């Protein structure tokens, strides 16, 4: 479970309306949501984000409402993972439920800039800022949650388990 990509850096308290504005919640189509991901925070984001990119944010990322649209939009935009100082608890749960890997690493957040390249090992929790050649630590993703991510989220995981049984 390794990720490598370019950083999109955001500040503190990015709420779910900042991630996917409420005016687009009339759909749950991930591809449609991706077209508007983060547009109120950074209007260039939807057009410039590339598959494999990484979001890095300050504290309390994903605060606000409990909508699953937010991690769906991020994932559909091509973001492979999100690293923040902290996450709102409901976003934390929704991210794993939708198969979006997230990591908490306050030290990394203070030592990375927009456009730098990171490599993350989700199993060990090691993060390398390849641009600055510095290493940081995050909590590794537990094996069960790795399974959720590998399946694409909780619903896919449950369907796979039911088919096996």
Sequential DSSP letters for 23-90: GGTT---HHHHHTTTTTTT-TTHHHH--TT-EEEE-SSBTBS---THHHHHHHHTT--EEEES-B-HH
Structure tokens at 141: 């993703």
Residue 161: what pLDDT? Answer: 82
Q: How far is it, in rounded angstroms, from Cα 74 to Cα 5?
A: 14
160 confidence band (pLDDT: 50, 70, 90): confident
Residue 136 confidence class, pLDDT cut points 50, 70, 90:
very high
Q: Tell me the pLDDT band of 27, cut-offs 50, 70 and 90.
A: confident
Average pLDDT over residues 18-22: 95
Q: What is the pLDDT of residues 82-128, one digit of tens each?
A: 999 999 999 999 999 999 999 999 999 999 999 999 999 999 999 99
d(CA 110, CA 56): 10
Q: What digits encode the pLDDT tens for the residues 28-87?
A: 899 999 999 999 999 999 999 999 999 999 999 999 987 899 999 999 999 999 999 999
| Beta bridge partners of residue 137, listed in sequence order | 126
The encoded tokens of residue 33 equal 């949501």
Q: 163 pLDDT exceeds 90?
A: no
Q: Is the pLDDT of residue 20 over 90?
A: yes
What confidence score (pLDDT) does residue 78 get?
97
């Amino acid at each position: 479970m390794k990720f490598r990509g370019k950083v999109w850096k955001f500040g503190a308290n990015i709420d779910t309306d900042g991630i996917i504005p409420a005016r687009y919640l009339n759909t749950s189509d991930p591809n449609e949501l991706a077209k508007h991901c983060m547009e109120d925070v950074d209007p260039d984001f939807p057009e410039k984000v590339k598959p494999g990119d990484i979001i890095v944010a300050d504290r309390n990322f994903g605060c606000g409402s409990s909508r699953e649209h937010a991690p769906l939009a991020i994932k559909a935009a091509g973001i492979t993972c999100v690293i923040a100082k902290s996450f709102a608890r409901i976003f934390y749960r929704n991210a794993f439920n939708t198969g979006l890997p997230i990591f908490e690493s306050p030290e990394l957040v203070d030592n990375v800039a927009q456009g730098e390249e990171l490599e993350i090992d989700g199993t060990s929790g090691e993060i390398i800022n390849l641009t600055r050649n510095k290493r940081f630590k995050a909590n590794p993703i537990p094996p069960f949650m790795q399974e959720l991510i590998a399946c694409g989220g909780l619903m896919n995981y449950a369907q796979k388990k039911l088919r096996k049984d």
